[in-house]
A = this chain, B = another copy of it.
Amino acid sequence: MQFPSPVSLPWIAELIQAKLVGNVNAQATGINEIHKVEKGDLVFVDHPKYYTKCLNSAASFIIINKETEVPEGKALLVVDNPFEAYCKIVNHFRPFEPAAKMISDSAVIGEGSFVYPGVFIGNHVRIGSNCIIHPNVSILDHCIIGNNVIIQAGTVIGSDAFYYNTKKDREVWYKKMPSCGRVIIEDDVEIGAGCTIDRGVSHDSIIGKGTKMDNMIHIGHDTVTGKNCLIAAQVGIAGVVTLEDGVTLWGQVGVSKTLTIGANATIYAQSGVGKDTEGGKVYFGSPIEDAKEKMKELVWVKRIPELWEKVMGK
């Protein structure tokens, strides 16, 4: 999340009661979770295992639970509980805003767009022109919808990320990370019925221009699809995934988190994608393999009995 305007570090240190070390007179321009940090960002780290990664990331200011050497030009904000401090900052800049009506007064809806009855449109939502939003759709706060977008009935845009601070040695195993990112739907996208697109934890989930989605597709937090992707029904994509342009996913495909599928790749139905995947090719299986190789493999398996008989006798 970018702040509305740059915020002085000492003010933030005061807010979260942190000891400020390093480049103390700097200004933070935003706050992000480690997977999507940029220069000027605050980030947090609460486990020694990830100290080095965070200190050396693009983020400029690190909320941390141990005073350590400060990288050149950066600053540390030392607190006992970095996760709680992160939440406090996020909640300060993105406080819970109740919604009293189906369509918020702060939402903006472009010319020629038609909103069916039963649609919820949250605070600060912007919808472009010539869109059709079908009945019982929910578009949560801060999401942005482009022009010529169709969202079919019952779909949810901007649900919270499935993302928790996890520690199994305390009473509460899973503490909810507040989701302050947005969902951005670019122009000419169509989203089927009964889909759910999670907002980014701290960055944005983006559906690229001209992409078409069938029904009951789940898109995780901070996931970005390219232009002209084609996603069939019941596909599930986890968080922080990148689909490059022109990717085709057939029905019930599952895509694991934090990976990239290359441009114009095609993944056959019910396949499972578990790692970075080269573009321009066709894949099948769970986990996926080259589709032709996988098909051959299915034939080879059928030859085992013949092989057995030859080697072992009847």
Contacts and interface: CB of A to CB of B under 8 A. Distances in A.
Given A138-B154, A196-B192, A269 B251 contact: no
Contacts of A310: 311-312
A102 interface: yes
Given A101-B117, A214-B162, A286 B270 contact: yes
Contact of A100 (B117, B220, B236): B117
A156 B194 contact: yes
A209 B274 CA distance: 31
A47 interface: no
Contact of A194 (B100, B140, B196, B300): B196
A183 B102 CA distance: 27
B120 A102 contact: no
Number of copies: 3
Contacts of A236: 216, 233-234, 251-252
A164 B212 CA distance: 9
Nearest to A245: B173
A99 B117 contact: yes
A120 B135 contact: yes
A196 B196 contact: no
A98 B114 contact: yes
A303 B308 contact: yes
17 contacts: A117-B120, A118-B136, A120-B135, A136-B156, A153-B156, A154-B156, A162-B192, A194-B216, A196-B215, A214-B218, A232-B238, A251-B254, A252-B254, A269-B272, A270-B272, A270-B286, A297-B301
Lowest 3 A-B CB distances belong to which pairs? A120-B135, A159-B193, A138-B153
Given A96-B114, A254-B270, 5 more contacts: A101-B117, A234-B254, A236-B252, A252-B254, A307-B312
Interface of A: 96, 98-102, 114, 116-118, 120, 122, 134-138, 140, 150, 152-156, 159-160, 162, 164, 168, 172-174, 176, 188, 190, 192-196, 198, 210, 212, 214-216, 218, 220, 228, 230, 232-234, 236, 238, 246, 251-252, 254, 256, 269-270, 272, 274, 286-287, 297-298, 300-305, 307-308, 310-312
